Structure formats: structure tokens, C-alpha cells
């Protein structure tokens, strides 16, 4: 009978949430269940993996569930929709308040944190687990606690660090009502958890456990956090937060810039690079084939990573996202998630035209389109080689074919001779929609999209006025050539939460900001231009582009803008842009009214369509201000805790 009782209680634990911060469950349910859980190793493991379910989707959940607004909360992409099932435009329009339920994860992550603390304080009660098994559970639990605090810090700024011993139900309000720690205190707490986890977690997981974190995952999360902490929003920000203090007058955000924080960020990134150079990670590449893209004359043709001569620049980038490369076989994926398929389904369907059963509402911005380089590394305003000069007049005369991609004759010249990440990422009017590319003789595959008002992907096609692209651009990035909702064909996708490319760009950005030489954990870092070129150029060569010039790398300010632009392009529609703009205090200043092509023009008026036009639509109002740098702590929690100070502006 005792065995049956324990099994029933364990089952309850797996399906019930633990108590959240300052909103505890009844004493009996929590304590009696925990006593039962730690009686058996199998129950502890079930409790641990239930705790892991508090990890939220990184791919946005931006349609219908609204976990984060990051995917479409910046200037690279936006949804046409503005409704309860697509609430992202409420965030960008600054129309939410502290009582809103959208994007509120405060209680959610504190529930996860309480569960991790329960495991860490009671794991030794489990008598049938070996010392090694307990150590493995502790490593995973430390990672989860660090991750939960990281996500709180990322969204809300400085948070409450709860006691490692879960708080009891017989404690007074004064004991439960804890104040927020400073940003730097939170960073150090999280980094310690992740560092301790990295010392325990394996360097590699077996294939069936490929989504579980590894040593590199923990170190990579430290790299991301250290880069945040070194950036101007959090490091010496006496412009925004000079008056933001706790009840004791202590500043939540450091008021004096510390250049050593950039060194800490550089070292954190390099520790992951060391794993990469051991063979654990690398940039995803595909070998050169007969129909691979041609390189511009100024692109080095050596073997990758010293050049782009032996790789297919198009497939090396595109196949990471569209499902062609299985994610657990992708050496660039430091931490991935197959459960993101629902989020990616919404992304992909949002890019499909209505007549192939898509939603036609996920827009790419003209600003993103303009950011992509020409194939020789020139920009839309700076020509390097005359044959790759940018033009906004006229149309191409001949078909161009590379890597199974066809740029049809008659394509507007704005889209000709662009770098290969552009074609792997952006759908524009005149681009080919494949959709079961092996199927012939049907109007529903292998067609050219037309985003004019009466085009096959335009506004007149649908009955819902929001089922349209307002910019005339959407994304190809997560769509396989065989994906077509009309035929019910959708390939499996996984999402890389952390890519090795991010680590390389974290490293060079941190090195660029150094004003001195530092030695941390036996690693010496300085603003060494050859080191910067080495790791930055790996990203460029993978894209089939030339590397940095000596002039570009010699100037800190110039190189900073180049690095941030590279992140804009490389991580388009991956949710990184909002964080980059925020940490550099540029969220409101970077934004310009969205532009695109003139989607009100008809098919018979191509010269009218291919004309830069400001997007004017009731759903796409942007109202960025400083309060959007941090989300509001829920009003209900502020009311419970007199020591909990709300974020500025809320």
C-alpha cells in the first residue's frame, strides 16, 4: 500500500506546479509531496524533468501563446496582426501595463526556481541514488536555476534572489518580502550557478538526449550574460538610471563604467571557443557543388575557415534553419530544441501566401533588406566593385541559378547581386516560392510570388484585411523547398537557442571594446586586431563575403557598427535584435517608421510597386521609450511585497 501511495503522490507532483514566489501552495501538498519524491531516484528524476518544462520556447511563441515579444519586437520583423492571439504589436506600441497577462513570466520562473532549490537542498535524502547520479542531477539542476534567473534578469532587470533553502509557510511577511538585488549581484549569482553546472555537465550528450544542456551550453549562457553586463545599458548607465535605487539608496544599475566587464565577456566567449577548437563546435558549412554560388573576385578562395573557396555559401546558411540539416547533427548548434516546432510552424505559416493556406502576415522590414551586403562586401550606399553596384531602377535581363535557387529574369535590380544570406532569408516580390519543388504542373508550387494589391500574395486575395504583407517582404529562413501547407507538407524543424556564430561575434565585440589587457582565469585578452579579424572573418567567409579591412578594424567605433550590423543580418528573425538594441541603449533611437514596397499598387504597375513607401497601418504603431527596456513586474506581486520596487516608467 505504501508503494501505491508514493506512486500516486509522485504522479501528482509531476503534473502540479510548485508554489511561486510569495504565492505559496498549501503546506501539506508541497511538503508531503516532496517527502515522497526524494524517497526514490526515479521520482527525483521525474521531478527534475518536470522542472525542466519551465524552460519556455525561445522561438517566440509569438502567435497565439505570447511568451516573449522578442522575435517581432524590434526593427527586423513585425506581424500585420494586432489581436489577443497576436499580441506583439501591443508591446511595441507601448500599450501594455503591469496588470497585463501578456508576456508575464515572473511567477512562472520563480516556480521553477523553487523546484530547483527543493532538489538541491533535498537530493541527499535520496538513498537509492549513487554519488555520481546525484552529481548529475545537481549539474542539471544548477543549470536550470541559472537559466531561470537569467530569463528573469533578461526580461525584468534586477530580480529577487531567493534563499537557496526554500522558504517555509510559517515564515512572516517580513521574512518572505525580500528586496531586489542589484543587476551585478544577479549576474554573479547566475554565473556561479552556470559555472558550477559547467563543471558537472558532460561536454556532449548522446543523440537521444541532444536537447539537454552540456558544458558548452552553460558556458555559452554565461557568454551571453557577460556581454549584456558589459554593455552600456547595464555598465555605468548614469544617464537612464541615476535615480533608480533600492530602499537603502543602492543603485540597481552600476553608475560607473568598468572596462573589465568587457574582458570578462571576452573570456567567457573564448572558453566556448576553446571547446570549438577541440572539435565540439564550428560554423555549419556545406561543401562546394557544381552549381554552388560564385564568389566575388575580392573574396578569399582558400579552404574554410581561411576563405570561402570550398563551401556553398547559400546552403551553409540556409540549411541550418529550414530542416535540411538535422539539428542534432549541426556542429553550430550549442543548444537546440526540437519542441520549438510549434513556434516555427507559426513563423513559417505566417510567411506563406493565402492561396497555399498560409497566413501572409509576417513582415520583413525594408531596413533589414537594406542591411544586406552586395556580394563583394559593398553596401547599398558604398560601391566596391562596379559589377556589383546597387541599383533601384530596372530589372535583371537573365536568369541566375545557384544552389537550387533561381533568381528569375525580370527581378527588380534592388534584389540582384546581394549576398547569399539575403536569398536564404528574404522573400520579395518576384522571388520563387518552391513548396514541394519536385511537384510539376501545379499552380500551387514553383511560382513567383507577387505582393502587389491584386497579386497572388497580395491584399485582394484574402477576406481578412490583415492577411497581407504591408512591406512586400517576408521570410524564407525557416521554410524548406518542400514545405507547402496547401499539400499538407511541412518538414520537421528544430531551433538553435544558441549558435556558435553568436559566440564568435560575442568574442570580437568584447575584444573591440577593451582599452587595456586583462588576464582572467589564465586567459589574457586585449584589443588584438588580428584575433578580431580571424574570428569575425569566419562569419563573413561562411556567407561568401570578403573579410574585414585593416581600416575597418583599426577604428573602434567603426568596427562596433560593423559588428552590430553583422549581428542584425546573421541573426535576422532569431530574436536577438531586440536585446542588441536594448543593451546599447538604442531601442527607441534606432527605430524609424517601417518602410517597404508600395503594396497598394497593382500588378500592372510594377514601377509603382517597387517604390519605397512608408507603412501606415493601425496595427503597426511603434512607441518605444525607455520603460520598454524592462518589463513591468506584475502589479499583484508589487502589492504583496512592500520591498519590491517597480521598474522605471511602470
Greater confidence (42 vs 176) lies with: 42
Cell of 387: 559589377
Report the C-alpha gap between 59 and 395 in whole angstroms: 36
Report the C-alpha gap between 12 and 245 in whole angstroms: 42
Question: Is the pLDDT score of 27 beyond 60?
Answer: no
Q: Let me know how many helices (H) and strands (E) the chain has, helices first.
A: 22, 14
Question: Is the pLDDT score of 58 beyond 50?
Answer: yes
Average pLDDT, integer, range 391-413: 97
Of 85-89, 241-245, 643-647, which gets the smallest average pLDDT?
Answer: 85-89
Q: Which residues of 366-383 are buried (b: 16+ CB within 10 A; e: fewer)?
A: bbbbebbbbbbbbebeee
Report the C-alpha gap between 604 and 24 in whole angstroms: 64
Crossing angle of helices 106-122 and 41-52, rounded to 10°: 160
DSSP SS3 for 7 = helix
Cell of 309: 573557396
Greater confidence (504 vs 87) lies with: 504
Q: Which of 430, 433, 423 is nearest to 348 (CA)?
A: 433
Q: Mind listing the pLDDT tens digit for each residue in 466-484?
A: 888 999 999 999 999 999 9
- Residue 35: predicted pLDDT: 80
Residues 579 and 150 sit within 8 Å (Cβ to Cβ): no
Give every CB contact of residue 235 below 8 A, 6+ residues apart in sequence.
Answer: 229, 254, 257, 258, 261
- Is the Cα dihedral 575, 354, 610, 421 positive or negative? positive
Question: Domain residue spans in the chain?
Answer: 2-68+91-223+246-256+629-640, 313-495
- The rounded Cα 475 to chain-centroid distance in angstroms is 16
Q: Report residue 358's pLDDT band, with 50, 70 and 90 as the boundaries.
A: very high
CA distance between the termini of the chain: 54
Average pLDDT, integer, range 163-174: 72
Q: Which of 577, 515, 529 is nearest to 257 (CA)?
A: 515
Question: Is the pLDDT score of 228 beyond 50?
Answer: yes
CATH architecture of 2-68+91-223+246-256+629-640: Alpha Horseshoe (1.25)
Look over the chain and give the mean of its residue pLDDT values, rounded to a whole number: 91
Average pLDDT, integer, range 550-577: 97
Greater confidence (489 vs 203) lies with: 203
Q: Which of 189, 53, 81, 58 is nearest to 470 (CA)?
A: 81
Amino acid at each position: 500500500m505504501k508503494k501505491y501511495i508514493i506512486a500516486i503522490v509522485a504522479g501528482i507532483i509531476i503534473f502540479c506546479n510548485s508554489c511561486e514566489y510569495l504565492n505559496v501552495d498549501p503546506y501539506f501538498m508541497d511538503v508531503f509531496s516532496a517527502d515522497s519524491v526524494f524517497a526514490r531516484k526515479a521520482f527525483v528524476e521525474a521531478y527534475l524533468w518536470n522542472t525542466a518544462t519551465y524552460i519556455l520556447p525561445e522561438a517566440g511563441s509569438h502567435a497565439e501563446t505570447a511568451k516573449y515579444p522578442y522575435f517581432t519586437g524590434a526593427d527586423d520583423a513585425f506581424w500585420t496582426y494586432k489581436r489577443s492571439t497576436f499580441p506583439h504589436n501591443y508591446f511595441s506600441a507601448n500599450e501594455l501595463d503591469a496588470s497585463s497577462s501578456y508576456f508575464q513570466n515572473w511567477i512562472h520562473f520563480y516556480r521553477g526556481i523553487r523546484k530547483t532549490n527543493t532538489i538541491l537542498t533535498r537530493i541527499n535524502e535520496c538513498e537509492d541514488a549513487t554519488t555520481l547520479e546525484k552529481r548529475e542531477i545537481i549539474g542539471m539542476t544548477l543549470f536550470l536555476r541559472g537559466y531561470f534567473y537569467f530569463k528573469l534578469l533578461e526580461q525584468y532587470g534586477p530580480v529577487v534572489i531567493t534563499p537557496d533553502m526554500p522558504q517555509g509557510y510559517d515564515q512572516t511577511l517580513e521574512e518572505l518580502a525580500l528586496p531586489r538585488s542589484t543587476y551585478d549581484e544577479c549576474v554573479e549569482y547566475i554565473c556561479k550557478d552556470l559555472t558550477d553546472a559547467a563543471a558537472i555537465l558532460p561536454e556532449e550528450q548522446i543523440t537521444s538526449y541532444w536537447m539537454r544542456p552540456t558544458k558548452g551550453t552553460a558556458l555559452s549562457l554565461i557568454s551571453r550574460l557577460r556581454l549584456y553586463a558589459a554593455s552600456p545599458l547595464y555598465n555605468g548607465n548614469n544617464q537612464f538610471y541615476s535615480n533608480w535605487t533600492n530602499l537603502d539608496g543602492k543603485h540597481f544599475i552600476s553608475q560607473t563604467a568598468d572596462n573589465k566587464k568587457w574582458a570578462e565577456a571576452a573570456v567567457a566567449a573564448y572558453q566556448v571557443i576553446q571547446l570549438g577548437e577541440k572539435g565540439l563546435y564550428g560554423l555549419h558549412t556545406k561543401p562546394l557543388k557544381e552549381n554552388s554560388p560564385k564568389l566575388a573576385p575580392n573574396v578569399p578562395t582558400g579552404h574554410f575557415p581561411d576563405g570561402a573557396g570550398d563551401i556553398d555559401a547559400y546552403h551553409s546558411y540556409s540549411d541550418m534553419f529550414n530542416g535540411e540539416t538535422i539539428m542534432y547533427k549541426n556542429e553550430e548548434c550549442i543548444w537546440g530544441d526540437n519542441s520549438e516546432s510549434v513556434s516555427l510552424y507559426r513563423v513559417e505559416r505566417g510567411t506563406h501566401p493565402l492561396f497555399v493556406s498560409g497566413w501572409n502576415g509576417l513582415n520583413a522590414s525594408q531596413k533589414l533588406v537594406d542591411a544586406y551586403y552586395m556580394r563583394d562586401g559593398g553596401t547599398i550606399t558604398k560601391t566596391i566593385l562596379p559589377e556589383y553596384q546597387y541599383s533601384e531602377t530596372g530589372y535583371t535581363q537573365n536568369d541566375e541559378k545557384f544552389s537550387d535557387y533561381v533568381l528569375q529574369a525580370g527581378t527588380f535590380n534592388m534584389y540582384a547581386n546581394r549576398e547569399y544570406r539575403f536569398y536564404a532569408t528574404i522573400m520579395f516580390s518576384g522571388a520563387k516560392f518552391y513548396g514541394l519543388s519536385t511537384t510539376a504542373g501545379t499552380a500551387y508550387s514553383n511560382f513567383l510570388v507577387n505582393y502587389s494589391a491584386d497579386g497572388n500574395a497580395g491584399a485582394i486575395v484574402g477576406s481578412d484585411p490583415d492577411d497581407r504583407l504591408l512591406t512586400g517582404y517576408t521570410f524564407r529562413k525557416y521554410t524548406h523547398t518542400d514545405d507547402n501547407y496547401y499539400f499538407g507538407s511541412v518538414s520537421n524543424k528544430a531551433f538553435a537557442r544558441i549558435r556558435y556564430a553568436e559566440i564568435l561575434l560575442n568574442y570580437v565585440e568584447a575584444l573591440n571594446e577593451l582599452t587595456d589587457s586583462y588576464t582572467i582565469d589564465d586567459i589574457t585578452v586585449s584589443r588584438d586586431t588580428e584575433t578580431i579579424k580571424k574570428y569575425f572573418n569566419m562569419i563573413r567567409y561562411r556567407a561568401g563575403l570578403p573579410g574585414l579591412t585593416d581600416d575597418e578594424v583599426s577604428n573602434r567605433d567603426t568596427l562596433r557598427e560593423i559588428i552590430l550590423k553583422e549581428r542584425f543580418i546573421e541573426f535576422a528573425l532569431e530574436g536577438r535584435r531586440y536585446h542588441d538594441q536594448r543593451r546599447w541603449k538604442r531601442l527607441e533611437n534606432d527605430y524609424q517608421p517601417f518602410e517597404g514596397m508600395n503594396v497598394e499598387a497593382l500588378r500592372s504597375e510594377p514601377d509603382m510597386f517597387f517604390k519605397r513607401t512608408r507603412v501606415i497601418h493601425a496595427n503597426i504603431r511603434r512607441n518605444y521609450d525607455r520603460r520598454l527596456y524592462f518589463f513591468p513586474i506584475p502589479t499583484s506581486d508589487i502589492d504583496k511585497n512592500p520591498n519590491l520596487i517597480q521598474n522605471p516608467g511602470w
